[in-house]
């Protein structure tokens, strides 16, 4: 898995330097998403620090308008409803769930995953896909629910909501608030 992770990062680094204005380049970029479908268990150590998923999502978020149009066309025209969720949404949700995992030790101290730094960019890409899914009726809202976000401590979510509500519009544009993305939360 380490060799795959290194190769993935090198490939994404090379794509970041390209102009990404052609649909083929976007298709190549999207092919990297399948690597985040790996089952995250104790036997597979993949992207523990979240660097690869961060690089992938940051590359998508940095594409020019022409590439975004190609991404939008691929997502809304080429993917069926079933494949949209399976190939684009689920891998990102798996990565998000892994990044939001929190453990608590015997002293009631919370320990966050090192990959937590990737959460804002994963959520931003999921927001793009959520908007596309709503526009083209490609997924149900439940397809975007994150188990990792739903399992977060209620006090942490409330604190995030409180901070978001008291922030000015300028502060909101400069800071990440998980509660600004309610499509990730299950109503249950």
Model pLDDT, residue 44: 67
Model pLDDT, residue 98: 85
First to last CA, the chain: 36
The answer on pLDDT for 41 being more than 60 is no
Strand partners, 168: none
Backbone angles phi, psi at 2, to 5 degrees: -65, -40
Model pLDDT, residue 91: 92
Number of other CB atoms surrounding residue 180 within 10 Å: 14
* Interval 38-60 mean pLDDT: 78
CA atoms within 13 A on the CB side of 169: 0
Q: Lowest mean pLDDT: which of 43-47, 78-82, 128-132, 177-181?
A: 43-47
Q: Per residue in 85-116, pLDDT tens? A: 999 999 999 999 888 877 777 887 766 766 78
* Interval 55-72 mean pLDDT: 92
Chain position carrying tokens 């523990």: 48
Rg (CA), the chain: 17
Backbone angles phi, psi at 186, to 5 degrees: -75, 140
Q: What is the residue-averaged pLDDT of the chain?
A: 87
Q: Per residue in 142-186, pLDDT tens? A: 999 999 898 888 888 899 999 999 999 999 999 999 999 999 998
- What does pTM read for this prediction? 0.88
* Pairwise CA distance, residues 95 & 170, whole Å: 29
């Amino acid at each position: 898995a380490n060799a795959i992770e290194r190769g993935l990062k090198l490939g994404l680094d090379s794509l970041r330097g390209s102009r990404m204005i052609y649909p083929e380049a976007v298709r190549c970029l999207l092919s990297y998403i399948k690597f985040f479908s790996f089952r995250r268990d104790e036997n597979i150590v993949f992207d523990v620090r979240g660097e690869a998923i961060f690089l992938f999502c940051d590359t998508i978020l940095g594409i020019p308008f022409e590439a975004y149009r190609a991404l939008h066309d691929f997502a809304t025209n080429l993917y069926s409803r079933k494949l949209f969720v399976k190939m684009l949404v689920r891998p990102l949700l798996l990565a998000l769930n892994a990044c939001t995992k929190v453990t608590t030790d015997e002293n009631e101290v919370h320990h966050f995953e090192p990959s937590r730094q990737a959460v804002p960019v994963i959520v931003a890409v999921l927001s793009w896909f959520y908007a596309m899914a709503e526009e083209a009726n490609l997924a149900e809202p439940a397809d975007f629910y994150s188990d990792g976000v739903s399992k977060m401590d209620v006090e942490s979510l409330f604190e995030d909501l409180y901070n978001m509500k008291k922030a000015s519009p300028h502060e909101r544009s400069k800071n990440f608030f998980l509660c600004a993305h309610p499509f990730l939360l299950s109503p249950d």
